[in-house]
Structures are given as C-alpha cells and as structure tokens.
Amino acid sequence: MVMQRRAGTARRAFGAAGDARPTSLWFALVLLLANTVALAQEQKLPTEADYYKIVEIPIPSDVVLECGGMEFLPDGTLAVSTRRGDIYLIEHPLAPNPRRIKFVKWATGMHEVMGLAYNKKDGYLYAIQRGEITRLKDSDGRGHANVYETFCDDWGISGDYHEYPWMSKFDAEGNLWVLLTLTGSFTSDARFRGWCLRVTPEGKIIPTCSGIRSPGGIAADDEGHMFYNDNQGPWQGGCNFNYLEPGKFMGHPIGNKWYDLAPNMQPRPQDPESGSRLLAEALKIPQYDLPCVIQPYGKLGQSASGIIFDLSNGKFGPFAREFFGADQHHSNINRYGIEKINGRYQGWIVGFRNGFSSGNVPMIQAPDGSFFVGGTGRGWGSVGPREYALERLVWTGKVPFEIHDMHAASDGFDLNFTEPLDPRTASNPDTYKMQTWTYIYRADYGSPEVDQTNATITSAKLSEGGKHVHLVVDGMVPGHIHELHLEQLRSRAGLPLLHPTIWYTLWSIPEKPPH
C-alpha cells in the first residue's frame, strides 16, 4: 500500500503515461534544471577565502599563546608576547612548511604583556606590562633574555583587572606611545588611567591625550601620525578609530582629573553633557577630537583591537595605504580610510575578512606583505571558538570586487571600486540605498542608533574608466553615520560586491570647489 500511494503521488505530480497533459513532466524537468543551474551559479560566487587565505601557524601543545603583542626582529624572527607574561620567539614564521616553524620561550614572569617594540639603536626588545615598560636582551647568547630592566614606570596601577596597557612601535623621534585603559572600565583610580603618554628615549613621560576609555590597538600611518582603536561603553556608542593629536581630548571625561599632573596639557576641557550628540559637544569643547571613524556596534564588530596601515606597496593586494583593524569579539578584520575635511578627520569602514579561530587582538605586517594575527579569548569571549591562535592572512593574487574607498563631496559621495562596473546597475540611482543615524553621547554604557533618516540618491554618474561613481545625495547629515547599501550593484563581469555595505562617519560636508 505504501508503494502504491507513493506511485500515485508521482503520477499526479509528473503525469502518467497516456496523460492528457504530456508537457507537465517536461515543465518540471526544465524547472528543476533551471534551479540547479541557478544554485550552481550561486555556489560559484567567490568568497573571502578566494582572495585572502588564512594560514594557521601550528602552536606546540605545551605553549599557551594568548597573544598580546608582536614584533619582527632583524633576523626575521617573530616575537610574540602573551597575556600570561611570556615572550616567544618564532623562528622561520614565513616558512611554507610548518615543520620549519619553531617556538622558543625567550622571556617569562611578566604581567599581561600587550605590546612589543624592537629598538635598532640599542638592540633591546621593549615590552609593556601593566605597571611598566621593560627592556630585555639576550646578552650572553644563550637563546633567552637574561637582562630585564625597568625603562619607565611613571604611571599608576591599582591592581584592577581592567588595567590593560598598550604600546606603539618607536616613532621617528624615538618615543613610545602608551595607552592606559581605565580601571574597571568605568573609573580612573590610578594615575593617568584613561590617557595616552609618550615615553621619550630617556624613559620620561609626556602626557599627550586624555579622554581614552578601553583601547585595543595603536599604530602609525606612513606620515608618522598615531591612531588607536577604542571600545564601546560609557561615552561611546560604537567602537572609535581615533587620531592621537597631542593636546587633544578623546571623549571620555573620567580621567580628566589628572590634568593637574599634565601642565603641558592645560587647560582642562569642560565635561561633555550626557545625553547630547558628539558633534554638538565638539562644537562646545575646543580640545575634543571627534573619532575619525565610528565602527557600527554589532554590525562589523564589538571590540575593536589591533591596527595595521598597509605599507606593502601592493604586496597585500589593491588596498595599499589603507588601514586594517581587527575586532576581538567578531574574530574578524575590517578595512577603513580617512580624509581631512574642514580641519577634521572623517572616513569610512567596510568589512574585509571573517573566520579567524580566536579573538583577534594584535596584528603585524610581515616583510612579504602578509598579516600575522594573534588571537585570545580568555575572559573576553569571541566568535572564534579557540582560546588562542596565531594565524597568517595571505593575499592569493586575485583582486576582489570591492569598494576601494569612499569620499565625501559637496553634493554627495564619490566611490572608487577595484573592478570596472556594469553600466546598467552603476548608473541607476535605485541601485543605492542610504540611511543615516548617530549615537547618543552619554555616560551610560553604549547607545542605541538614534535620529535615523533616509538619504535619497538622486543621481549616479559612472566615470569613463568604469571604476568611479559620483552619487548625488539629498539628505546628508553632519554628525551622522551614513550607511550605504549596494547589494544590487554588479561588476562588468556580473559579480556582486564581496562586501556590499559601507559606513561613512560624516562630521563636515566639503565646500563646493570653485569653478
């Protein structure tokens, strides 16, 4: 009976022999074939891995590598510090054969080492711990550090769990830039917590910026300007990418009580009004330096961390001289760029690469252009399931179809792409959808997206070269994040964008250029 019912069902669906509707079986087969072809086409769409490959660096079973900082040494060895206070030297880190990669414990016994910098002048490796910068050296050639010297400890420490320190590489003047996280994420119970300090070649501190909350990474661009990532929380609705301009206030007021210890930074900025908006407060507080880019919380990440400015001259693909920022929670890397409009930095952020094994924290660019990415998840949690990892991101040589960059114009935005565009979709204003919103600038933790508006794309003009589009936008809002969706856009080859949404943090609309 079961077999009879199944056979009957089949006859009703497709038509039995001698059925008066002989085309029904043919129609069903055509539909099935069409669906199969469409599915195959979808499956053939390129993925992030086709362009940027994640290579796992095998970690010995007796090594707990919760990465905090990384630095390349002159002989090509990669030094990696850990949250547990160790420093490992990784020999042959670029070797295609993982068997050649060797881990050697070089230093130990330190506390939460979240930054490394090698000094070519004195041959020391500098490591930042919670309470000091230590310089280390293997002076007897036995393969491990035997010299540990306190280089600078001129800031406070209370023992709070949240007192993470972060440190840059040496700048052109030989200074190290130090970021001091707030105590408990909310308070500044130790000296200069919530500040950026410069440490001179003599080990003296120069108070440099106030208003920092919970940084996760710091790096310089090709002109020596220093930038850092700060994390969402009180006074920050999203994760902020900030320019560390000496003398400026970054937005979180709790650490401003230390201005009396920083005579070079006077006068102390007035406290912002909780519940206001960022741009409104920046217009009232001269020292307040607005974020260059706000990473929309939850959409691209939740805990911005390590930064790389691509100086590989194309070894890492078509994005030379752009910033890349890791996110610890999302275990991913995003890409962004900035421009200065009317005296302030502003810019865009777009997704880049997902799928790392742990919570990405430090990153460093290797001589061959690839990125080394260190992961840690202990206590912080991450999308990547492992407690720790070390991975390498390598460009495969293929160019993805991506938004290359985005710039504000007096009447809208200019977009550049990595591949020529399909004229039909690129020139149609309906291809582009834009909404704007901002965050509340408040003492409470985080913020919802507020003050939403819809901006209308009234014109889309494609350049003769096919890689540039000028969008005329009705409804640009200074102080808002402009979220642009391009899901319907296609390349000349028919491909959709690998990452079809981009966010531009707009503080100022450029003036119309003179004719």
Q: pLDDT, tens digit, for every residue of 381-398? A: 899 999 999 999 999 999
Residues 472, 342, single domain; the answer is no
Using the predicted structure, report yes or no on whether residue 416 has a pLDDT greater than 80: yes
* Residue 272 belongs to a domain: yes
Q: Are strands 501-506 and 344-353 parallel, antiparallel or unpaired?
A: antiparallel
Q: pLDDT, tens digit, for every residue of 137-153? A: 999 999 999 999 999 99
Residue 403: which H helix or E strand, with range?
Answer: strand 403-409
CATH number at residue 218: 2.120.10.30
Residue 485: which H helix or E strand, with range?
Answer: strand 480-485
Residues 499, 385, single domain; the answer is no
**369, 395, 421 — which closes off a domain?**
395
Residues 201, 306, single domain; the answer is yes
Q: Are 189 and 181 in contact (CB under 8 A)?
A: no
Q: pLDDT, tens digit, for every residue of 221-232? A: 999 999 999 999
How many domains, the chain?
A: 2
- Per DSSP, 418 falls in state S
What is the secondary structure of 253-282 as a DSSP string? Answer: GGGGGGGGG-GGGPSPPPPPPTTB-HHHHH
* Residue 23 belongs to a domain: no
Q: How far is CA 498 from the centre of its chain?
A: 17
Q: pLDDT, tens digit, for every residue of 459-511? A: 999 999 999 999 999 999 999 999 999 999 999 999 999 999 999 999 999 99
